[in-house]
Chains A and B, each alone.
Chain A
Amino acid sequence: MEEPGFIVHHKGDSLGVVVVEDVKAGQKLKGWIMDTNETIELTAASDIPLGHKVALSALKKGDTVLKYGNDVGRAVEDIGVGGYVHFHNIKSKRW
């Protein structure tokens, strides 16, 4: 398989992890879903640093964010497909 641009831990997760350097807005990315060995594609909507997250589906403010197939928090603003997901736009539900 061609080297992926991002990796998804579990099918159904809201997020993928960018594994190539200097992703720019508008860049097409291939993603590898680790547990099912599937490949998906999307276009980055923002610049995303290596190791940071890209949204796989549109998230509305308040939506639950899934990673490893588990609830890891909620969106605090609307995030489009391919958007940069980081601590500015998702927060823990705990506090």
Chain B
Amino acid sequence: MKRTFLGYPRSNGTVGVRNHVAVISVMDNCNPVTRAICQAVDMTLPVTTLFVRGQYGHDLEVAFNTLAGMGRNPNIAAVLLVGLEEQTTEEVARRIRPAGKPVEAINLQPHGTINAVAEGTRRALKLALGASRARREPCPVSSLLVGVECGGSDTTSGLTCNPTIGAMADRLVEDGGSVIISETSEFLGAEHLFAARAKDEAVGKAFVEAVVRLEREAVSRGMDIRGTNPTQDNIRGGLTTIEEKALGAMAKAGTSPLRGVLAYGEAPAGKGLHFMDAPAPAVENLTAMAAAGCQLIFFGTGVGNPIGNMVAPTVKVCGNVNTLLTMADNIDFDASEILEKSAKVGAVGDRLYDFAVEVASGTRTTSELLDIRETAISRFAPTI
């Protein structure tokens, strides 16, 4: 029998693991209104952003697409956009409408803050009342798209949490689901090994080009990325070379073939494992995954990194016994039995897959309950 979870089926065939009304800032000057509306209305999620005003070209396109991608995410039942003026707000709205969910907008001009908060609160209330009529139903796990991430890595990451996430990713892909691994810089030193798993030459080439482009750009800007990767906390945790870090990081993608290469925030067209070319720092990387439509993210950590995504619940997986004690309030899944009790990675991965189904069905994560969530869209050019 096909494995199922309890999700929210959407009109466009996707399935949410949560059922929120996203209140999305179109640009940074709208954030205070977004936050005020979300404080007033239950079921809302504030998706705030910095910049957008003064961005142009490709950089602005990425910003619009990423904001809209979070609005299109299946975890979002309806969207309220908070903008400054109609034209820019419409740029985001028109990118969300094809998802077939209610999209409303309020603009600060010419109403002013108090009126915008009042009107926005009224509309958010209406959207939340509508969204609350949705009920969870059994849905196939093949409708899940999960992101795999790591941050605050140490030597336990490559031995415990990352391979455990990889084993879970393999199970999900076997069951017809999809996985996105990203963090381009993390592949430096091991890109040839990952490219060998590509379904065809074109995909392998696109992947290697992304890694080489990043390295070339770093060098052309006169940067020495040896100082940033591994990071100082990685080195304190026992990591040595970028190759060692890359092999440990890659473990969270499991062993299935690489089906496609995605741009920042781009949704995969097919099923299976995909690579997304995006900067590695957690907040901007998780933002790109949520924009691509990931309903869940699995985040391996060694020395501990608390952050989660606003739209996609983020499951923290850790196999370091010290971190499990000192940062217990930031960890959702304990993988320490691999080092402590010589447990098999595959068995712990099975347990994580069970937990994934549970979280997809409504079990909350620590970063949701403590609201340790942030949004940041990567920047690719200066503002003018």
Residues of A within 8 A of B (CB): 1, 3-4, 7, 9, 17-19, 32, 34, 49-53, 65, 67-68, 70-73, 85-87, 90-95
Q: Once the chains are docked, how many angstroms separate the CA of A85 from the CA of B241? A: 11
CB distance from A36 to the nearest CB of B (A): 13
Given the contacts A32-B342, A70-B190, A9 and B242 also touching, CB distance less than 8 Å: no
Q: Are A91 and B241 in contact (CB under 8 A)?
A: yes
For B342, the chain A residues whose CB sits under 8 A away are 1, 3-4, 32
Q: Are A87 and B243 in contact (CB under 8 A)?
A: no
For B155, the chain A residues whose CB sits under 8 A away are 17, 51-53
For B79, the chain A residues whose CB sits under 8 A away are none
Q: Are A90 and B240 in contact (CB under 8 A)?
A: yes
Q: Are B247 and A94 in contact (CB under 8 A)?
A: no
| Option from B159, B241, B302 in Cβ contact (under 8 Å) with A72 | B241
Q: Once the chains are docked, how many angstroms separate the CA of A1 from the CA of B344? A: 13
| Option from A50, A67, A95 in Cβ contact (under 8 Å) with B244 | A67
For A17, the chain B residues whose CB sits under 8 A away are 155-156, 159, 238
Q: Which of A1, A32, A71 has the most chain B CB atoms inside 10 A of its CB? A: A71
Residues of B within 8 A of A (CB): 154-156, 158-159, 188-190, 193, 226, 230, 235, 237-244, 247-248, 251, 302, 320, 322, 339-340, 342, 345
For B238, the chain A residues whose CB sits under 8 A away are 17-18, 49-53, 86
User: In the complex, given contacts A3-B340, A68-B248, A92-B242, what are 18 additional A-B residue pairs having Cβ atoms less than 8 angstroms apart?
Assistant: A4-B342, A17-B238, A32-B342, A50-B238, A51-B156, A53-B155, A65-B241, A68-B158, A68-B251, A73-B243, A86-B235, A86-B238, A87-B235, A87-B239, A87-B240, A87-B241, A94-B242, A95-B226
Q: Once the chains are docked, how many angstroms separate the CA of A92 from the CA of B339? A: 27
Q: Once the chains are docked, how many angstroms separate the CA of A64 from the CA of B5? A: 47
Q: Once the chains are docked, how many angstroms separate the CA of A83 from the CA of B344? A: 28
For A34, the chain B residues whose CB sits under 8 A away are 159, 345
Q: Are A73 and B241 in contact (CB under 8 A)?
A: yes
Q: Are B247 and A72 in contact (CB under 8 A)?
A: yes
Q: Are A7 and B158 in contact (CB under 8 A)?
A: no
Q: Are A51 and B320 in contact (CB under 8 A)?
A: yes
Q: Are B240 and A73 in contact (CB under 8 A)?
A: yes
For A85, the chain B residues whose CB sits under 8 A away are 240
29 A-B pairs whose Cβ atoms sit less than 8 Å apart in the complex: A3-B342, A9-B158, A9-B159, A19-B339, A50-B238, A50-B322, A51-B154, A51-B155, A51-B302, A51-B320, A52-B238, A65-B241, A68-B247, A68-B251, A72-B189, A72-B241, A72-B243, A72-B244, A73-B240, A86-B238, A86-B240, A87-B235, A87-B239, A87-B240, A90-B240, A91-B241, A92-B226, A94-B242, A95-B226
Q: Once the chains are docked, how many angstroms separate the CA of A49 from the CA of B242? A: 20
Q: Is the interface of A mostly helix, strand, loop or mixed?
A: loop
Q: Once the chains are docked, how many angstroms separate the CA of A51 from the CA of B230? A: 15
CB distance from B300 to the nearest CB of A (A): 14
Q: Are A70 and B154 in contact (CB under 8 A)?
A: no
Q: Once the chains are docked, how many angstroms separate the CA of A85 from the CA of B248? A: 17
Q: Which of A3, A72, A91, A94 has the most chain B CB atoms inside 10 A of its CB? A: A72
For B244, the chain A residues whose CB sits under 8 A away are 67, 72-73
Q: Which of B235, B244, B339 has the most chain A CB atoms inside 10 A of its CB? A: B244
Q: Are B193 and A92 in contact (CB under 8 A)?
A: no
For B302, the chain A residues whose CB sits under 8 A away are 51
Q: Once the chains are docked, how many angstroms separate the CA of A67 from the CA of B159? A: 11
Q: Once the chains are docked, how many angstroms separate the CA of A4 from the CA of B343? A: 12
CB distance from B220 to the nearest CB of A (A): 15
CB distance from A62 to the nearest CB of B (A): 15
Q: Are A92 and B154 in contact (CB under 8 A)?
A: no
Q: Once the chains are docked, how many angstroms separate the CA of A94 from the CA of B190? A: 11
For B189, the chain A residues whose CB sits under 8 A away are 72, 92, 94
For A95, the chain B residues whose CB sits under 8 A away are 226
Q: Once the chains are docked, how many angstroms separate the CA of A95 from the CA of B155? A: 22
For B237, the chain A residues whose CB sits under 8 A away are 51
For B190, the chain A residues whose CB sits under 8 A away are 70
CB distance from B327 to the nearest CB of A (A): 15
Q: Are A94 and B339 in contact (CB under 8 A)?
A: no
